[in-house]
Chain A
Amino acid sequence: MNKGFKKLFIAAALTTALSAPALAEEFIKIGLGAPITGGSAAFGKQLLLGAESAAEAINAKGGVNGKKIRIIQGDDACEPKQAVAVANRFVDQEKVDAVVGHFCSSSTIPASEIYDEANILNVTPASTNPRVTERDLTTLIRVCGRDDQQGEVDAKFIHENLKAKRIAVINDKDTYGVGLANATRDAAKQLGVEVVLEDGVTRGERDYNALVTKIKASDVDAVFFGGLYAEAGLLVRQMRQQGLTIPFVSDDGIADPAFVTAAGGIPFAEGTYMSFLKDPRGEPAAQEVMLKLKEKGSDAEGFTLYSYAAVEAIAAAMDANKGVKDGTVLADWIKNNDIDTVLGRKGWDEKGDPKTNDFIIYVWNKEGQYEPVQ
């Protein structure tokens, strides 16, 4: 009995000794809640890169109110339980001044309640579920768009451009995918498009041939998929391999060159449509940032620049309200002021959503890049 006791004692001593607090220096601590491990780790990497680049750039110009920004990462693996643990740690132990996070809406929703209780500013760069900002929280700001807006744009495109009368709506059975697929389905029904088939695929599985055959049997004009790039790529590839040539439309979850890899090459990915916010990489403000990111080996795909903009928004709010750490005050300031970010000039409404949401439709082209549909 004593042996086990000793072992626990030593193990605990060793590991807790390593959780020592840093030497007290004046930093602005911004917590980054993102999936660093797990199935969505690729997106976590984007968020981390964007946030750290923004912090570097701002620190190079003197920081915020003379203090430098430090990004502290917290891994939630896109799991609500870990998101809560990360949120508690940010609030109680690290005592952060603001939070950029999280990525998955299912993580942001519980974590944001903790930040709201602690009155800490919380800016999410990528959670698009409408419920995120519909809960009367006073410290939450969203940099990306919402699923319901995106769904409308998708449905409109399917109805007007593709002239599809019967469609299949597939989701990946996760919060984001289901939310988006439902939004598109509802908007499509309103426009008079018939949703013949609604089904789901399991994340982590790779054989969707049975579903593809089912789609073939249901004789639809187009397929909409709500989900992320790994499943979207596999689905479109297996569709094409079975001889199904109907258009494939998806959402901003596939806005990453990894979609081309997941689809197995440009021939399969070419011609896929997706809805995404107006590409930030075309903005003049983004060019310099892009160069810096290129040096780090990144093409600023997906949500990298959103994470960058989130840090910029936090820094701007803190700069304008010198010394104020009250999350509600900072959030209110953001809602009442436009900020110049790498995504362009952004303004927010009272719910914390961006005022302008130009979701547009892109198509993946022969070079493996996405370009706006004319």
Chain B
Amino acid sequence: MEWHILSQQIVNGISLGSIYGLIAIGYTMVYGIIGMINFAHGDIYMVSAYITAIVFAVVTFLGVDAVALSLLITLVITMAITGLYGWYIERTVYRPLRTTNRLAPLITAIGVSLLLQNYVQISQGPNVQGVPSLIPGGFTIGTADEFFRIRYMDMIIVTVSIVAMSLLTFVIHKTSLGRQCRAVEQDRKMATILGINTGRIISTVFVIGSMMAAVAGELVTFNYGSFDFYIGFVLGIKAFSAAVLGGIGSLPGAMLGGLLLGVLESIFAGFVSSDYKDVFSFSMLVLVLVFKPSGLMGRPAVEKV
């Protein structure tokens, strides 16, 4: 096994895995707090990709030329609008269903997913859209024959993911808002009794999840350069698997699950078969869950009798 090929695959995997992780965070947080698998989350990520492109085009049109500045402004505005999407959907569609059985929000999420996909498809057209390639190039490590590349974009993805994760962990563990989130997650009734505005906290969690998805959306859009209205679907399933792999409800678990999934997938695709790589990913997921039923870092569910 040539070292440079293995290194390249690992680099690929880490880059891919960070994206999985960012989106998995959205799934894991929402599940942790209201026990609902938000199938529409992948499509929120898709919407954020479109909004990134639109905002970037507008920002460039308005004359901002510096790459870093335009990217930053785009990021902030995209996060805001995507967060608004998450809040809006939660408020109109999920909130009425909060008191019902577990599966009703699930099915509604499917409806929302369909709605978002088609709404974007009809509004923006079914064609592939793109953004210009902004940050090409990267480091080449190795000799002329045996080399592997770490692109600048790869580094940006990993850095931004780490920063976002750290910020989120800081918010969850050190701020009052984070404390309230954790309280609501652990025991909703008690939190309500103690005076926490549960409704608002749940909405906040949706917003945070959507903002993380927006970060992922922007990174991915500039990394791959193109997107269409269908990208949310496949990535959504993968990211959800990553969240479960890491233990649903656990933030570091989501990131770990994402990275693990990304790296293992890349290595399998690179060395065995790209055809069957999804079979491998799912089989691995099943194996891990068989031996560790609540995921890698999940807390085992305590059942009170």
Contact = CB atoms under 8 A, between A and B. Distances in A.
Chain A–chain B contact at Cβ < 8 A:
yes
Interface of A: 37-39, 41-42, 44-45, 173, 199-202, 204-211, 213-214, 216-217, 229-230, 233-234, 237-238, 241-243, 258, 261-265, 267-268
A262 B121 CA distance: 16
Contacts, number: 123
B111 interface: no
Nearest to A241: B151
B226 interface: yes
A263 B225 contact: yes
Contacts of B268: 210
A45 B121 CA distance: 12
A268 B226 contact: no
B224 A264 contact: yes
A216 B224 contact: no
B234 A205 contact: yes
23 contacts: A41-B126, A45-B127, A173-B275, A199-B274, A201-B274, A202-B278, A204-B234, A206-B220, A206-B226, A208-B274, A209-B15, A210-B265, A213-B12, A217-B270, A230-B226, A234-B226, A237-B225, A241-B151, A261-B128, A261-B130, A263-B225, A263-B226, A265-B132
A208 B226 CA distance: 13
Q: Which of A42, A200, A207 has the most CB of B within 10 A?
A: A207
B295 to A, nearest CB: 23
B146 to A, nearest CB: 10
B266 interface: yes
Interface string B125-136: 111111111001
A241 B133 CA distance: 11
Q: Which 9 A-B pairs have the closest CB atoms?
A: A264-B225, A41-B126, A210-B269, A209-B12, A210-B266, A261-B130, A204-B234, A199-B274, A262-B226
B224 A39 contact: no
A214 B128 contact: no
Contact of A210 (B151, B224, B270): B270
Q: Is the interface of A mostly helix, strand, loop or mixed?
A: helix
B129 A204 contact: no
Given A207-B16, A263-B225, A230 B128 contact: yes
A265 B273 CA distance: 29
Interface in B224-240: 224-228, 230-231, 233-235
Interface in B111-153: 118, 121, 125-133, 136, 138, 140, 147-149, 151, 153
B274 A262 contact: no
Contact of A213 (B5, B136, B225, B228): B5
A239 to B, nearest CB: 11
A45 B128 contact: no
A41 B123 CA distance: 13
Interface string B259-294: 000000111111101110110000000000000000
B225 A265 contact: yes
Contacts of B180: none
Contacts of A199: 273-275
A234 B148 CA distance: 19
A204 B15 contact: no
A213 B8 CA distance: 7
A213 B270 contact: yes
B9 interface: yes
A206 to B, nearest CB: 5
B5 A216 contact: yes
B2 interface: yes
Given A210-B269, A213-B9, A204 B16 contact: no
B246 interface: no
A268 B227 CA distance: 16
B269 A214 contact: yes
Contacts of B225: 234, 237, 262-265, 268
Given A41-B121, A211-B270, A206 B224 contact: yes
B13 interface: yes
